[in-house]
Chain A
Amino acid sequence: MIQVLAFYLFAIMVIASGALVVLARNPVHSVLWLILAFFNAAGLMILVGAEFIAMLLVIVYVGAVAVLFLFVVMMLNIDFAELRAGFVKNAPLSVAVAVILLAEIVLGIGAYRVGLIELGTPDGTAAPILGESNIENIGILLYSRYLFLFEMAGIILLVAMIGAIVLTHRESRAVRAHQDITKQNMRRPEDATEMKRPEVGQGVEL
């Protein structure tokens, strides 16, 4: 029962927050709804017993989205004073979202402990075996059967990195101000100053 409840809660939240990503006028709000959608998708993954994918969703997507969020903020030049102005007015909404998230966590963990929901596979062939950690299984597959492709995926990331550096890195030719304290201490007054005794009415030659 708790599984079905949790499933519908997560599913409705994914769809609702997905719709709000598109509908929100403020891009920052869109990103926040997107994060909520990812959290709920992670909950759905836990329900079908794919806790590894759930973790990936939270760590990778939410983590990456946080960075994306920063970019959006930097590029769009959003007036934060204006955003903060509505804080008191919208406080009940934020509390409501927090309560929903808390409820989801409780429900999700509860449902995971009860067992898996049977989705999509009427004969249950594709259902994961209870009690087996799929992190371990994915690891074993990744480092044996898919070893070559795994390594090549690594090379793809390396190429992406080389590309980013090749296209953006510039040798800075300007002399940067480095403070060399020893050099400063070694400097004696005689080296830096010169005594001149100019005659009255005469200039000094520099």
Chain B
Amino acid sequence: MELTTSLGLIVPELVLAVSGLIMLLFAAWGGNEASKPVSIACCVALGGAFALVAPSVCGGYSGPGTLAFYGQLRIDAFAGFAKLMIYASAGAALVVAPRYFDRLNAMKPEFAVLVIFSALGMSIMVSAADLISLYIGLELTSLASYVLASFLRDDDKSAEAGLKYFVLGALASGILLFGSSLIYGFTGSTSFAGISAGMAGGLSGGMLFGLIFVMAGLAFKISAVPFHMWTPDVYEGAPTPVTMFFASAPKVAAVALLARVSLEAFGSQPDAWQQIVTFAAIASIVVGALGAIGQENLKRLLAFSSINNVGFILIGLATATVAGASSMLLYLVFYVAMTVGSFVALLMLTDAEGKPLETFADIKGLSTTRPALAWCLLLIMFSLAGIPPLMGFYGKLVVFQAAVEADLIALAAIGIAASVIGAFYYLKFIKVMFFDEAVDRVQGKADKAQWALLALATLAISPFAWLLTGWLASLADGAAAALFFAA
């Protein structure tokens, strides 16, 4: 009985797992020619999982009915909300990948299979209600990511990115496991509810150590300062579609996981982790803003931009309120749209032979040679800088609003000040594209799929999306309420 209900709850995950396994067979027998059909089929599978998850978000599912497998997974609206973002961004990565790899003759059907399994791992991560399922989901995601980072194995930078990510990721997993074992030892439970109950009486030294280690391990996964050092190197070295994937889906999953661990497992001791999250938030915003200033490589710059954005997301978490969690989810939605948009635009910057162009010197005067692309980038950069009326502003607004309501005025003030610093390099993009002498290096033709994705992302952050904010905010509120219902 338990098994049947549990299986019913995890249908989207089953769809992903089974389609991943079937596609693996096609990949094994079809060879490299099967890349395109396998990519399309994997996109369809992600779409199917998306459609299956959507009702749980719209319905705001919460409560004991959402527990699967004896409380190891929680399939509630919060998990659903994160899953929708994860599946969408994984699908976007699959759409843009073939063109990038085809030029190098490096497209393999395993790419799509690994993305599917990674998405499966992220589904488990965001649904985790137990330290064991947390770790299994995290490891499934990470292992697939390490391989994806070094997918261009003949390229030195890609290989280096994969190795760096692997070594540091393994270290972070070790730290996380060490913390988990301490928490299990001192609270006597691996389930989040049990840990919360075990901590309710007070925080012993061992529990505190465990909590810090778990937070540190998760902070590495979301690349929050001071555990961000790997991000620029990995983002720069990995193939651009993979970088786009890293900057969107796993980040959403790890942030959602961090929120669930903080608010559910450590929910009875919010004071213990609020300082950590507050520090990580401020440090990420400042380091992300300052580190990006000197960068010439656009991928490195976007890596610092993602560190910066994680800081703003963590402000929402630092409040430890329903409004804060809801603002965090809203910020994530627009963050994903902006990330996908900026990386698709980056993918469209190619020279006549299709070689990717990745530095500021290449996009000088882009507005005269490729006006449509330049205007889309302009909107995305303004949105990242948080200029109203674009949606990046709305994301920052709700986060700061939640922080002010939770009496974290100092945190909000520092965040606003640092976002002004951050605006510098976003505006530099626009200055280089619109006011510098044209060099006309961008010659490559972009295909329809790229234009469609870019248009979609730009539309999502354009002022038109204000029309949707009411609906989105109610969904995010439902998801955040589900998170707190569990805690």
A163 interface neighbour in B10, B121, B144, Cβ under 8 Å: B144
Nearest residue (CB) in B for A170 is: B153
Q: A148 to chain B: which residues have CB within 8 Å?
A: 6, 10, 68-69, 72-73, 133
A166 contact set on B, CB distance < 8 A: 108, 110, 114, 147, 151
Cross-interface CB contact of B113 among A151, A156, A162, cutoff 8 Å: A162
Pair A163/B72 contact, Cβ less than 8 Å:
no
State which of A147, A156, A167 has its C-beta within 8 Å of the C-beta of B139: A156
Main SS class of interface, A: helix
B130 to chain A, nearest CB (A): 8
Identify the closest chain A residue to B139 (Cβ).
A156
* A interface size (C-beta, 8 A): 18
Residues of B within 8 A of A160 (CB): 143
Report the Cα distance A160→B10, complex, angstroms: 23
In Å, the complex CA distance between A152 and B153 comes to 27
CB distance from A30 to the nearest CB of B (A): 20
B256 CB within 8 Å of chain A: no
* CA–CA, A153 and B120, complex, Å: 12
In whole angstroms, what is the CA distance A163 to B136 when docked? 17
Which chain A residue has the least Cβ–Cβ distance from B113? Answer: A162
Question: Which residue on B lies nearest to A144, using beta carbons?
Answer: B3
User: Are the CB atoms of B132 and A159 closer together than 8 Å?
Assistant: no
Measured CA separation A159–B136 after assembly (Å):
12
Contacts of B72 in A (CB 8 A): 146, 148-149
Q: Are B153 and A155 in contact (CB under 8 A)?
A: no
Cβ of A145 within 8 Å of any chain B Cβ, yes or no, is yes
**B140→A167 contact, CB < 8 A:** no
B20 neighbours in A (Cβ, 8 Å): 155
Per-position binary interface string of chain B over residues 298-326, scored 1 when its CB falls under 8 Å from any chain A CB and 0 otherwise: 00000000000000000000000000000
B114 touches A159 (CB 8 A): yes
Known contacts A148-B69, A149-B133, A155-B140; A162/B10 CB under 8 A? no
Asked, given contacts A145-B69, A159-B117, A166-B110, whether A152 binds B136 with beta carbons under 8 Å apart, the answer is yes
What's the Cα separation between A165 and B139 when bound, in Å? 18
B153 (CB) vs chain A CBs: closest residue = A167
**Interface of B with A (CB < 8 Å)?**
3, 6, 10, 17, 20, 24, 68-70, 72-73, 108, 110, 113-114, 117, 120-121, 124, 132-133, 136-137, 139-140, 143-144, 146-147, 150-151, 153, 162
A residues with a Cβ closer than 8 A to B are 145-149, 151-153, 155-156, 158-160, 162-163, 165-167
7 A-B pairs (CB sep. < 8 Å): A147-B69, A149-B136, A155-B17, A159-B114, A159-B144, A162-B117, A163-B144
